[in-house]
Structure 1
Amino acid sequence: MRRFVSMLLAISVITMLFHPAHTQAEDKKDSIAPTAPSAILMEKNSGMTLYDKEADKELPPASMTKIMTLLLIMEELEKENISLEEKVRISEHAASMGGSQIFLEAGEEMTVEDLLKGIAVASGNDASVAMAERIAGSEDEFVKMMNDKVKDLGLKHTHFENPNGLPHDNHYSTARDMAVMARELLMHEAITDYTSIYDDYLRKGEKNEFWLVNTNKLIKNYPGMDGLKTGFTNKAKYCLTASAKKGDLHMIAVVMGAEKPKERNEAVTNLLDFGFGQYEGVKLYSKDEILHSMENSRGMPKDLPLVPEKDVMILKKKNEEKAKYKTSVTLNESVDLPIKKGEHLGWVTISNGKEEISKVRLEASEPVNKANLLELWQRSFRNLTGFEKF
């Protein structure tokens, strides 16, 4: 019996020697967001996931849906299909939206910028539908655009039925998918001019002046927070996709399904504190650094330098040495002329062994037009004769 007890003790000691660090790390990780049914922490610049808990569980996103709505609005602004100064006429349908709203009236006209504020700050369901109708012609067509964008982003666990997050059985997403959408939205840097507003006014000085107050109270209480979107319905409970900047780091924290707003805010705060406290950013390439040159035999100029759309960053634990990373470049299969400056033409991928650490778009550093017939003839002559100049 004594020998048996001694053997058990020996096994216990060996087990403790091999597993204590893992157990302590797991315990610490589990304590970050203990009350959140689903959560994730992602760093925006690198795209690295630093924490996840049931992050692929399909849940109703409530008004966090508006992250996709805002993304499509920002893309339309970038394409110059709409402008901030343009006035949008409000339909009966848009004005009829319940839930959180900015109390639009049918026939009223409001600028795109004010509607953008109404969505980003006050989570206006009516403003979301008004912009959906302006961009796509109808709410249904805009929802198709939303789901097409879901596919473009490679999201497997998201489907939208409306642009505002009002309850629907077939309207769902995940913490991970919401973080990817948030990262894509934050690529449009101007969005934080709106999502970081704590309070503002619509129709200022008029009879129906409306006071906007941000539904994300952490905007005022957490240093560096610049968005993004809260959500609540009885089924979804309390949700929040939050982003905050500190130095070179830009964290995205998503919490879904919290029972109380206090629990949601506490979980988000803990996630952000964990990210900023444990990690630091390392810049591998500047956004102005030429990483590849694309040749187009029919373009003018013929060789186009490609640069990353933003600084290429990776994260490492503080006080740890930087690992060795591999950089690879992939280009789009087909490119049509002309090419605009800033057009996305490929990807630069950073990997650590088999693991992908960061992926950043490559873009054109200058415009490329179609070469004229004289230039094409001269190129053909040089190729045939070997003369560099003609």
Structure 2
Amino acid sequence: MKKRVLCVLLTITLLTGCSNSSDAIIPYEDSLNLHQNNLVNLSNIQRGDLFAKDLTVISKDFNSPKDNNLNSLSSLLINVTDQETIYSNNVHERLYPASITKIATALVVLKHADLTETVTISKNASNITEAGAKLCGFKEGDQIVLKDLLTSLLVYSGNDAGIAIAEHVAGSVSAFADMMNEEVRKIGAVHTNFLNPHGLHDDDHYTTGYDLYLIFNELLQYQEFLDIIKLGEYTLTYKDNSGKEVKKEFSSTDRYLTGAANVPKGITVLGGKTGTTFKAGSCLILASKDKDDKVYISLVLKADSSDNLFYQMTYLLELISK
């Protein structure tokens, strides 16, 4: 498929943080300034030599020609190294992000917190009762290093880890959500409204595929983030409320990292984040590189099943493996 560089964006609508807020229009030039010096050249990603460079901008009315192999509600494939859009479909449509929300949580932690601090699990964090919510199983009073909580959040997608992080960093979930929204708007993700650190469903908790690209692209500057998202499994060691050592084994929710899904020849998966709820469907954002060390961000939102999600993501990766 022919690659396109898309650098046409006339306006961006700035949300103030409430779902029913009035909109303000930012001129094209000012919207680009939001991104200046915030995006990444990842050609030396294995050495961690990451630095801000440039941005791939996708116009609001652009969609690639329809591809019947890509039937999710939104999908995206960007060559980050060359700032080229290879495939784009409905990337400006408001959608529910499910646990991909946790990348924004990671951004706040990496910018504002000390990963060596110890976090005490609260009653609130240890008592998530929503049906189907994935939990690490932490108990009230458990003592866990913040970096380990962040790893549990991103690798295993534990929602209790998200609550514990939010309360430790900001004092409450709502205050942490304010920090999330503030940070993502700094990098231009202005069509996003986060209400929690984990992505469990709320009708007023939403984003777009393009905003998720901006957030994920920003995070690839952080070596700590790259070191975490590449893990296929993780052993967590912490202390319970009596001081006794506890060990837990967590596997990644990313099938590429566990070997449950095959990566196309010539492609290396660097890691990413999955998300699944009934209303969000099956979702995945991924960083990968080709045989020439060019880096890509790919995204599939609202696939109708996990199997179909990874089928579509593999199809996107095959576009760059040829």
Q: TM-score, normalised by structure 1?
A: 0.59
Q: Tell me, yes or no, if the aligned pair for 1:132 and 1:163 is still in contact at 8 Å.
A: yes
Question: Which residue of structure 2 lines up, in the alignment, with residue 234 of structure 1?
Answer: 278
Q: Tell me, yes or no, if the aligned pair for 1:159 and 1:172 is still in contact at 8 Å.
A: yes
Taking the aligned partners of 2:69 and 2:83, their CA distance within structure 1 comes to 20
The higher radius of gyration belongs to: 1
Q: How many residues align?
A: 246
Deviation, structure 1 residue 190: 2.6
Change (3 A) 1:149 1:32: farther
Question: Which residue of structure 2 lines up, in the alignment, with residue 82 of structure 1?
Answer: 114
Secondary structure of 2:273's partner?
A: strand
Secondary structure of 1:257's partner?
A: strand
Q: Tell me, yes or no, if the aligned pair for 1:238 and 1:256 is still in contact at 8 Å.
A: yes
Question: Which residue of structure 2 lines up, in the alignment, with residue 271 of structure 1?
Answer: 316
Taking the aligned partners of 2:206 and 2:272, their CA distance within structure 1 comes to 18
Secondary structure of 1:45's partner?
A: coil
Amino acid at match of 1:53: N
Secondary structure of 1:30's partner?
A: coil
Taking the aligned partners of 1:243 and 1:32, their CA distance within structure 2 comes to 23
Amino acid at match of 2:104: M
1:92 corresponds, among 123, 126, 129, to 123
Any residues of structure 2 matched to 1:291-330 within 5 Å, and which? none
1:45 corresponds, among 61, 76, 81, to 81
Question: Which residue of structure 2 lines up, in the alignment, with residue 152 of structure 1?
Answer: 186
Any residues of structure 2 matched to 1:43-82 within 5 Å, and which? 43-76=79-112, 81-82=113-114
Question: Which residue of structure 1 lines up, in the alignment, with residue 157 of structure 2?
Answer: 123
Q: Tell me, yes or no, if the aligned pair for 1:62 and 1:236 is still in contact at 8 Å.
A: yes
1:201 corresponds, among 235, 245, 248, to 235
Taking the aligned partners of 1:147 and 1:105, their CA distance within structure 2 comes to 29
Q: Tell me, yes or no, if the aligned pair for 1:229 and 1:240 is still in contact at 8 Å.
A: yes
Q: Percent identity among equivalent residues?
A: 31
Q: Tell me, yes or no, if the aligned pair for 1:195 and 1:227 is still in contact at 8 Å.
A: yes
Q: Tell me, yes or no, if the aligned pair for 1:41 and 1:275 is still in contact at 8 Å.
A: no
Question: Which residue of structure 1 lines up, in the alignment, with residue 294 of structure 2?
Answer: 249
Deviation, structure 1 residue 133: 1.4
State the structure with bigger RCO (CA 8 A, min sep 6), 1 or 2: 2
Q: Tell me, yes or no, if the aligned pair for 1:114 and 1:202 is still in contact at 8 Å.
A: yes
Taking the aligned partners of 2:150 and 2:301, their CA distance within structure 1 comes to 24
Q: Tell me, yes or no, if the aligned pair for 1:32 and 1:271 is still in contact at 8 Å.
A: no
Q: TM-score, normalised by structure 2?
A: 0.71
Deviations 1:39-58 (A, max 9, x none): 11122334432210111111
Q: Tell me, yes or no, if the aligned pair for 1:33 and 1:271 is still in contact at 8 Å.
A: no
Taking the aligned partners of 1:158 and 1:32, their CA distance within structure 2 comes to 28
